[in-house]
Amino acid sequence: MEREKALELVKKQLTEHRYQHTLGVMETAITLAAQYGADVKKAELAAIFHDYAKFRSKDEMRSIIVTEGLPQDLLAFNAELWHAPVGAYLVENEAGITDREVLDAIRYHTSGRADMTLLEKVIYLADYIEPGRHFPGVDEVREMAKVNLDRALIKAVQNTILFLMKKNQTVYPETFFTYNDLINKLED
């Protein structure tokens, strides 16, 4: 699908603020993909659609998780996690995107997973460091992303886990699997 068509479809799903975030993720994902050798067109498409389901109601997302065989353990964790797998489902079934790599990059953009593909890493990190993001530690991750994708990703996942723990929030096991797998594979 062409960029213009994808942007037109996604704009209808989002607020103006979230659409601007999406444009930032798109530009950042293209840069990271070119830098680290991921497929630039797939990165562009996954970035455009990554938050497609962000404004669906909790009821709609819960019902999709239950009826479409998405991981049921999500229901016991923060609903903020749901838009990623539900987004992958809707992007396939409403927007007609069939590329498995693109759909998985959308599916895992919030929690990550063990054994992330290069494209999944690019989208996770682009979502975290796009120019519209302003939170403590983001500049450090931006600098790391210029040098080492995996180290930047580890920092982003660490920051996310620490942020959740400081707020006494639960951490979805998949997020810990992401962290543990990246640390296990770290070479130095």
- Interface positions with ligand DGI (CB under 6 A): 51, 54, 77-78, 80-81, 84, 109-111, 127, 160, 164, 169-172, 175
Verify binding: residue 51, Fe ion, rule CB under 5 A. yes
Rounded to a whole number of angstroms, the minimum distance from the CB of residue 151 to ligand DGI is 19
Among 127, 154, 175, 182, binds Fe ion (CB under 5 A): 127
Residues, the chain, total? 188
Coarse DSSP helix, strand, coil percentages of the chain, rounded to the nearest 5 percent: 70, 0, 30
Rounded to a whole number of angstroms, the minimum distance from the CB of residue 187 to ligand DGI is 26
Binding range to Fe ion, per CB under 5 A, among 8-16, 122-130, 152-160, 168-176:
122-130
Rounded to a whole number of angstroms, the minimum distance from the CB of residue 61 to ligand DGI is 13
Alpha-carbon distance values, 70 to 66, 82, 175 (Å): 7, 10, 17
Verify binding: residue 44, Fe ion, rule CB under 5 A. no
Evaluate whether 35 touches 9 at the Cβ level (below 8 Å).
Answer: no
Binding range to Fe ion, per CB under 5 A, among 26-34, 45-53, 91-99, 139-147:
45-53
What is the distance between the alpha carbons of residues 113 and 30, in angstroms, rounded to a whole number? Answer: 21
Q: Which two tokens stand for residue 22?
A: 């999406």
Q: Please, which residue, 51 or 92, has the CB nearer to ligand DGI?
A: 51
Binding range to Fe ion, per CB under 5 A, among 43-51, 69-77, 160-168, 172-180:
43-51
What is the distance between the alpha carbons of residues 56 and 25, in angstroms, rounded to a whole number? Answer: 20
Rounded to a whole number of angstroms, the minimum distance from the CB of residue 159 to Fe ion is 15
For the four alpha carbons of 10, 42, 153 and 174, in that order, the dihedral sign comes to positive
Evaluate whether 34 touches 149 at the Cβ level (below 8 Å).
Answer: no
Q: Which two tokens stand for residue 102?
A: 């693109």
User: Can you give the binding site for Fe ion, defined by CB under 5 A?
Assistant: 51, 127
